[in-house]
Amino acid sequence: MTGSSTPLAPAAFNYPGHGANAGIGVAICHGFTGSPLSVLPWAEHLARQGFAVSVPLLPGHGTDWRDLARHGWQDWYRAFEASYLELAAGTRHCYVAGLSMGGTIALRTAARHDVAGVAVVNPGLSFYDRRVRYIGLLKHVQRTTVPVQESGPTASATEDGDYSLTPLEAVHQLSRLFRAVLRELPAVAAPALVFKSDTDTVVPPSSLELLRKRLGSRELEVVGLPESGHVATLDVDAPLIFDRSVQFFLQHTATTARETP
């Protein structure tokens, strides 16, 4: 866990857990062009509560935009899945969580594995820009684009590498990930907690509408974040995310323990 004012380099975060909560694992996935730094305060908060925590650095992230273009969405998913499986093997109850695209990847993991629950922040399933529907063609005539920027961001900035440009090939991979996860959402049976910022200029409200419509779980709770933008884990409402997710993990762990003979 960190305590230095020196800027941190993007790197995976792992904590083995301690005390009464050591048997509870939470695998957290960062977002598109981001790094574990964007969810590090969340991970550290869970670690202080004694949870075992894993946050992998996804392939093509934490370096520069050229590296991002060399990896597909399945590379991103497999890296997180491997992190989850390793954590699950050493804990009694293992949850998945994520921010933005990381939330999308966490949802796919929940569709494919027997996770204890899923907690996501501003998960992406759709785009504001309608031109994305033509991205398979556009990437052949335009190599890069300027990344989506929030207007008047209030979240702390992190040094995630050089992503001053976004390869259209990577955007195409992101759109393919969204389509794949939309198909698999009905298979998600675990309880789900979704945090949604009121002023998110990166992920449109249609993503939450799609999630509500297609999620297979009978337990879906949505918590609004009235004071935060897209990277809410670093924003004003971050303490709400941290505290409410801890309650969610403990509540469902206790329920599962009561139901297990």
d(CA 69, CA 169): 6
How many CB atoms are closer than 10 A to CB 66? 12
Instruction: Tell me: pLDDT of 89 over 80.
Output: yes
* Helix axis angle, 168-184 to 101-112, nearest 10°: 40
Full DSSP string of 211-230: HHHH---S-EEEEEETT--S
Q: Which residues are CB-neighbours of 108 under 8 A, at least 6 positions away?
A: 77, 177, 180, 181, 184
206 labelled catalytic: no
User: Mean pLDDT for the chain?
Assistant: 90
- Do 34 and 233 contact (CB within 8 A), yes or no? no
Least confident of 46-60, 154-168, 239-253: 154-168
How many CB atoms are closer than 10 A to CB 20? 10
Of residues 142 and 225, more confidently modeled:
225
Domain ranges of the chain: 13-254
Given 200, 228, 245, 252, the catalytic residue: 200
- Do 48 and 23 contact (CB within 8 A), yes or no? no
Predicted TM-score (pTM) of the model is 0.92
Given 35, 54, 100, 228, the catalytic residue: 100
* Helix axis angle, 73-89 to 168-184, nearest 10°: 50
- Taking residues 148-166, what's their average pLDDT? 78
CATH T-level topology, domain 13-254: Rossmann fold (3.40.50)
200 labelled catalytic: yes
- Do 55 and 12 contact (CB within 8 A), yes or no? yes
Q: Which residues are CB-neighbours of 224 under 8 A, at least 6 positions away?
A: 195, 196, 198
* Helix axis angle, 73-89 to 101-112, nearest 10°: 60
Given 54, 230, 235, 252, the catalytic residue: 230
- Taking residues 95-117, what's their average pLDDT? 98
pLDDT at 3: 44
- Do 135 and 172 contact (CB within 8 A), yes or no? yes
Angle at 167 between CA 165 and CA 169, to 5 degrees: 170
pLDDT at 203: 94
d(CA 196, CA 227): 11
Two structure tokens written together for 31: 């977002």
pLDDT at 137: 47
237 labelled catalytic: no
pLDDT one-digit tens code per residue, 208-222: 999 999 999 999 999
pLDDT category, 256, cuts 50, 70, 90? Answer: confident
Q: Which residues are CB-neighbours of 255 under 8 A, at least 6 positions away?
A: none
pLDDT category, 174, cuts 50, 70, 90? Answer: very high
- Do 161 and 64 contact (CB within 8 A), yes or no? yes
Which residue, among 229, 219, 218, has the nearest Cα to 196 in the 3D structure?
A: 229
